Every structure is written in C-alpha cells, then in structure tokens.
Amino acid sequence: MPVHLYWGDDEASRNRAVEALVERLLDPAWASINLSRLDGNDSIQAGRALEEARTPPFGAGARLVVLQRSPFCSQCPAELAPLLEASLPLIPAECHLVLVSAAKPDARLKTTKTLRKLAEEHSFQLPAIWDGEGLIELVARTARELGLALEPAAAEALAEAIGSDSARLASELEKLSLFAAAGPAGAGPISLAAVEALVGGRSTSSLAVGDALLAGRPAEAIALVDALLAANEPALRIVAALTSQVRGWLWVALLERQGEQDVAVIAKAAGIGNPKRIYVMRKQLRGRSPAGLLTLLGQVLEVEAALKRGADGGDAFRDGLLLPRPGD
C-alpha cells in the first residue's frame, strides 16, 4: 500500500522529490488521467484525494494522487479522520497517495500514528541561518539531487552566499552547471572560481552583522548594515535581532562560567528555542569574556537609543559601533 509522507519547510526540495516520484512511476502516455494534484486546505479536495487513491490506474503505469498542504498530520477535520482510516486499507498496490505538508507531523494525533505505520516518510527541513555545517550539507544534498559535483570550497562559498534559500540555491546550481560545462575542461565539478564569478559574496543578515562584531570586525559589520539598509531592512529590526543575539551570547557565557553544562537549561535561560544552537554558540564564544559581551550589548543599545531619537540609520550604527564610548 504505497503511501508517501513528505514534510518540512524546504519547499523546493519537497517539490523536487514529488516530481521525481511522478517521473519514476507514471507512464507519460497516461499521465493526464492517472495524476491528480489536489489542495488539502479544502476538506472536499482532501476527501477526494482519498477516493481517487482507491481507484486503480487506467492503462499502463501507476496512479499518483498528490495532496499538497495535507491536513491529516496537523489539524485534521473530524469528518476526515475516519475516512482516512477506512480508505488506507483499500488503496491498490499500483496507486500512490502522496501527502505533502510544510509542518512537522503532530505525533499526538491518531491519524499521524496510523500513517507512520504505513507510509514512506521523508523530511525536508531547512537548516537555521546560524547552522554553518547544516547550510553546507543543504548545498551538498541539493547538488546530489541535481546530479552535480561540487568542490568543497565551492559548497562553502554557496552556503555563505545563499544561506537557506533552497529555491535560489537550485537555480544557482543549474546556472553553475551550465557554466562549468561550457568551460575549457568540459563538464566537471563546480569550482570556487565559478561561484565567485556567477553568484557573488556572502548573504547579508542581522546574524552576519553580529558575527562580525563578535569577531572584532566593526568595519565589516557596518558594511553589512549598509547592505541591509539599502535592501530596505528597517533599522530597528536589525537592532532587535542584534540585541537578541548578543543577549543570548552573554547568557551562555555567564552560565558556562558558572559551570552549567546542560544545554537545555542554558537554552531556556537564554530564551533560545533550539538547544542545539548552544553547541554552535559555544564555538563562537571561545576566548570571549562576559565583560566584552556586556560592552557590545551596551553599544547595540546606544544604537537603539539613537534610532528612537530620530537619528539616521547608517549614522546611528556608525556612531554606536565605531566611536568609543565615554569612559572606555
């Protein structure tokens, strides 16, 4: 009984997986009859998906019923739950029900438990922007899915340039593959030089600004702020993100100095939702003192105060982050 459960916030990867399944299982001559694409936001279409999945295919190949925004593992309407239970045993072997959703399945639901006993489950989750290793793995995985080879340095450069924008990543990789194929060496691994030539530099975010400040590179931080402001990012939003970031660092540094090792306790005290982030923060904070972080937090708060007094965004960041404070 082929049931497929695809979930996660990486929409581009999810869609590629669905299309790969369609291409593998459907006979193109019968695709218009044997392929249904429905929207689970409409309970009528969700019920129709269960009905169509019970109908044997016409002609050659399999039948595929793709239900985007599937409700069966989240907020499943009361009338659909028993219909799902009754329909699953009746799906023919040559039919495939593909349930797709962005949210992680709610393990508490009876429908989720039922599906997990029967379904082939795949998750497509984007790494957090601060997860450098996760971003590099996203680049490598996407390249594998597209049948492309990457030099390690090229994968790192793409992770820095694109971040977790998986749709743009796939587009850039396809462009880079054409560039590599047209080169004098013919088709080969995508190189760092190709990435630098076609994609550009590091993606800019408030987190990147904080990383530059932590590393003692205020001029780089100001350049990143200027890029954010030029992209119409509100100055107060940048400050809010920086304040949260520096406060998190300060909490982690203080608790580690006190000997606390439980990452769950540290994450709760620092207001960090994902305890795994603590491991990354610990690496960033090696050799950093709480006193230095407290000084940095004071600088960021000076920027916030200047902005709320009506100062220009660029001037507020320059004055707050570059000029020495009285008494320093």
Three-state secondary-structure class, residue 200: coil
Cβ contacts of 276 within 8 Å, gap of 6 or more: 263
Indicate the DSSP class of residue 288.
Answer: -
Q: Which residue has the tokens 């105060």?
A: 305
CATH architecture of the domain covering 3-123 = 3-Layer(aba) Sandwich (3.40)
CATH class of 132-198: mainly alpha
pLDDT for residue 21 is more than 90 = yes
Is residue 115 within 8 A of residue 3, CB to CB? The reply is yes
Measure the CA–CA gap between 170 and 177, rounded to whole angstroms.
11
Cβ contacts of 143 within 8 Å, gap of 6 or more: 149, 150, 155, 173, 190
Is residue 204 within 8 A of residue 241, CB to CB? The reply is no
pLDDT for residue 55 is more than 90 = yes
Question: What distances in angstroms separate CA 136 from CA 90, 171, 326, one per listed residue?
Answer: 42, 16, 42
3 forms bridges with which residues in the sheet?
97
Query: For 182-203, b where at least 16 C-beta lie within 10 A, e where not — what string?
Result: eeeeeeeebbbebbeeebeeeb
- Termini Cα distance of the chain: 70
132-151 confidence digits (pLDDT tens): 788 889 999 999 888 888 88
Is residue 192 within 8 A of residue 153, CB to CB? The reply is yes
Average pLDDT across the chain, whole number: 86
Measure the CA–CA gap between 220 and 316, rounded to whole angstroms.
16
Going by C-alpha positions, the residue among 67, 63, 93 that lies closest to residue 80 is 67
Share of the chain above pLDDT 70, in %: 93
Q: Where in the chain is CATH 1.20.272.10?
A: 206-322
Cβ contacts of 122 within 8 Å, gap of 6 or more: 4, 5, 6, 7, 17
pLDDT for residue 202 is more than 80 = no
pLDDT for residue 64 is more than 90 = yes
Least confident of 61-70, 91-100, 180-189, 249-258: 180-189
Going by C-alpha positions, the residue among 313, 127, 305, 146 that lies closest to residue 238 is 313
Q: Where in the chain is CATH 3.40.50.300?
A: 3-123
CATH class of 206-322: mainly alpha
